[in-house]
Amino acid sequence: MIKDLLQNISHKYASKWLVMLFDLMIVALTFVAAYIIRFNFQMDFDFVVMFKQIPFVFLAALISFLLVGSHKGVVRFTGFKDVVNIIIGVNILATTLIISTFFSRRFNYESIFNISGSIIYIHLLLNILFLVGFKLFIKSMYNKLMQDFKTVKRILIFGAGNSGMITYDAITNDPKSNHQIIGFIDDNERKIGKKINTLTVYSLDKITPRFIDKYGVEEVIISIQNIESARLLQISGQLFELGLKVKIVPPVQNWIDGDLSVGQIKEVNIEDLLGRDPISITNPALIDEYENQIILITGAAGSIGSEIARKAANYDFKKLILLDTAESPLYDLQQEFVQKGIKNFTAIVADVRDFRRMEQLFQLHKPKIVFHAAAYKHVPLMENNPYEAVSVNIGGTRHMASLSVKHGVNKFVLISTDKAVNPTNVMGATKRIAELYVNCLQGKGNTKFITTRFGNVLGSNGSVIPLFKRQIENGGPLTVTHKDITRYFMTISEACQLVLEAATMGNGGEIFVFDMGESVKIYDLAKNMIILSGLRYPEDIDIKITGLRPGEKIYEELLADGENTRPTYHEKIMIAKTKSIDILTISDKISNLCMVNSKSQNLEIVSLIKDIIPEYISNNSKYEVLDSKK
Catalytic residues: 419
SS3 10: helix
Q: Tell me the torsion sign for CA atoms 487, 493, 496, 498.
A: negative
Q: Which residues lie below 8 Å from residue 442, measured CB to CB, with a gap of 6+? A: 448, 449, 508, 509
CB 610 within 8 A of CB 594: no
User: Is 316:292 a contact under the CB 8 Å cutoff?
Assistant: yes
The alpha carbons of the chain give a radius of gyration, in whole angstroms, of: 34
Instruction: Using alpha carbons, select from 459, 35, 537 the residue that is nearest to residue 271.
Output: 459
Tell me the C-alpha distance between 271 and 309, whole Å. Answer: 22
Helix (H, G, I), strand (E, B) or coil at 175: coil
**Contact, 488 vs 516, CB < 8 A?**
yes
How buried is residue 239: exposed, middle or buried, by Cβ count under 10 Å (0-12/13-18/19+)?
buried
Give Cβ neighbours of residue 125 (< 8 Å, ≥ 6 apart). Answer: none
List the one residue out of 115, 120, 61 whose CA is nearest residue 88.
61
Please answer whether residues 609 and 437 qualify as being in contact, where contact means their C-beta atoms are separated by less than 8 angstroms: no
With residue 450 as reference, give the H or E element that holds it. Answer: strand 448-454
DSSP string, 179-234: EEEEEEE-S-TTTTT-EETTEEEE-GGG--HHHHHHHTEEEEEE--TT--HHHHHH
DSSP conformation class of 135: H
SS3 269: coil
Q: Are 609 and 429 in contact (CB under 8 A)?
A: yes
Question: How big is the CA angle at 398 (ends 407 and 321), to the nearest 5 degrees?
Answer: 55
**Residues in CB range of 405: below 8 A, 6 or more apart:** 441, 444, 445, 447
Alpha helices in 313-366 (DSSP H): 327-340, 355-365
- Which residues, including other chains, have CB under 8 Å from residue 17's CB and lie 6 or more apart? 71
CA distance 26 to 130: 7
Q: Does residue 454 contact residue 491 with C-beta atoms inside 8 Å?
A: no
Stretch (H or E) spanning 422 = none
> Is the N-terminal amide bond of 367 cis, ω within 30° of 0?
no
Q: In terms of Cα–Cα distance, which of 251, 244, 241 is closest to 272?
A: 251
